[in-house]
Amino acid sequence: MARTQGSHSDITGPRIQAAALELFARHGYAAVSMRQIAAQVGVQAGALYNYIPDKQTLLFRLMRDHMETLLDTRRMQAGAGDPEARLRDFVRFHIRFHLERPDAVFIAYMELRNLTPENFARIEELRGDYERDLQDILRDGSAAGVFSVPDTKLATLGVIAMLNGVNTWYRSGGRLSLDEVEAVYWSMVRKAVAA
Amino acid sequence: MARTQGSHSDITGPRIQAAALELFARHGYAAVSMRQIAAQVGVQAGALYNYIPDKQTLLFRLMRDHMETLLDTRRMQAGAGDPEARLRDFVRFHIRFHLERPDAVFIAYMELRNLTPENFARIEELRGDYERDLQDILRDGSAAGVFSVPDTKLATLGVIAMLNGVNTWYRSGGRLSLDEVEAVYWSMVRKAVAA
DNA sequence: GTCTATAAGTAGATAGAC
DNA sequence: GTCTATCTACTTATAGAC
């Protein structure tokens, strides 16, 4: 609010994204005003428009950046091995990645309905890329006879839904450590798809 | 909008709830105005306040009614039997009940953050009652040696998260019938908790 | 019970000074 | 690049006529 004038382009842009991420996650996109975001950053509302054309684009960029980070990080970590090893890696990766950025995860699937149709389609395409990764593992495992799933597409969606649930209840410092949570979910997933 | 004056108390109340349910599910609580709800009902905005004290109470009643219907319906249908039969009944009940009312389900967990703290606590209590039902089944099955879950609380949350995922993709008339979906998910759940 | 009119405030976005 | 000021439109909720 009280703020000296000057040039801060390198720093203000990321701060706007960070403020929007936190506020959208807590209150929801529609409930947060541009003035609230500006106040959290420490600028006036008009200054936001040096960095984003409009509120919708701000939301879209948060979601797109999150999905691209998800895909890039996964590509770097995905290893080879037999289907069971690949599935275990996927489960551990998914839980860990999502627990590390709860705000972005929350937004990326709670605010889908607030995207324009064009932006929605682009996000859904990225989500499809990620799901295909798991589906390939389940398909390969089924072909090799080590997995037995009634339907690879539904098994994919079922496993991801189960893993996403972790974000709704996990708090670090709680009853279970991250390693224990990963072990528990890996146990359930492994059995659910076992031959 | 053009609307003759007169008395419609028996019919307008439920129509307000129905309109709010649909609009909140589609656009989100914060993004829907009282005028939009009124327009969908066919009255002016002021008339809504003969039925609800404010917008927050309208949201709360939708969520409370949904949760109470869930609990009441479950109580009527829950049968006895061995733990595996009870678990199968729960899975089938959960999928069917939730697919029958996608709007209410969507609201009941997407709009939790828009409840006042008091209203939030009341809804969470009802949700806890429902989860306890499944947790009891898993506990009894584990004690009897027919299930083996690393942690009954996490298994409860994991199973419910997986089942809730059905609502995000199922469309009647799609590739799979309701019976097939139930069979697929029952297969995965059964194996996930099997001894 | 519904209407019209209105109060009092906030929304997203822009213009122009500095 | 940020500020202040402002435009236009919309928000929830209420008052009082019918």
Query: Does the pLDDT of residue B5 top 60, yes or no?
Result: no
Provide the strand spans (E) within chain B. none
pLDDT value, residue A2? 41
Nearest CA distance, B167 vs chain A (angstrom): 11
Where does chain A hold its CATH 1.10.10.60 domain(s)? 1-53
Count of positions (residues) in chain A: 195
Q: Give mean pLDDT, residues A164-174.
A: 96
pLDDT value, residue A1? 39
Nearest CA distance, B28 vs chain A (angstrom): 8
With bands split at pLDDT 50, 70 and 90, how would you rate the model's confidence at B7? low
Q: Which two tokens stand for residue A105?
A: 């995860």
Whether A158 sits inside 8 A of B30 (CB atoms) is: no
**Mean pLDDT rounded to a whole number for chain B:** 95
Q: Contact B44/B34 with Cβ under 8 angstroms? A: no
pLDDT value, residue B10? 79
Q: Find and list the nucleotides of strand D having atoms within 7 Å of a protein beta carbon.
A: 1-5, 10-16, 18
Q: Give mean pLDDT, residues A166-185.
A: 96
Predicted structure pTM score: 0.94
Q: Which two tokens stand for residue B193?
A: 């908790």
pLDDT value, residue B9? 67
Cα-based angle A44, A50, A54 (whole degrees, multiple of 5)? 90
For chain A residues 47-76, those near strand C by a CB cutoff of 7 A are 49, 53-56
Q: Give mean pLDDT, residues A150-155.
A: 96
Query: Does the pLDDT of residue A185 top 80, yes or no?
Result: yes
pLDDT value, residue B137? 98
Is residue A92 classed as helix, strand or coil in its secondary structure? helix
b/e sequence A152-185, b meaning 16+ C-beta within 10 Å: bbbbbbbbbbbbbbbbeebeeeeebeeeebbebb
CATH level 2 (architecture), domain B54-193: Orthogonal Bundle (1.10)
Residue numbers in A near B151 (CB within 8 A): 176, 184
> How far apart are alpha carbons A59 and A49 in whole angstroms?
14
Instruction: Using the structure, give the distance in angstroms from the CA atom of A4 to the C1' atom of C16, rounded to a whole number.
Output: 19
Whether B165 sits inside 8 A of A160 (CB atoms) is: yes
Query: Does the pLDDT of residue A109 top 80, yes or no?
Result: yes
Whether B28 sits inside 8 A of A26 (CB atoms) is: no
Q: How far is CA A48 from CA A20, A27, A115, in A?
A: 11, 19, 20
- In CATH terms, B1-53 corresponds, of 3.30.565.10, 1.10.10.60, 2.40.50.140, 1.20.120.350, to 1.10.10.60
Where does chain A hold its CATH 1.10.357.10 domain(s)? 54-193
pLDDT value, residue A79? 83
- Condensed to tens digits (0 to 9), the pLDDT of residues A68-91 reads 999 999 999 988 899 999 999 999
Q: State the DSSP string of B116-144.
A: -HHHHHHHHHHHHHHHHHHHHHHHHHHHH
Q: Give mean pLDDT, residues A163-185.
A: 96
Residue numbers in B near A114 (CB within 8 A): 28, 31
> How far apart are alpha carbons B13 and B4 in whole angstroms?
17
Residue numbers in B near A105 (CB within 8 A): none
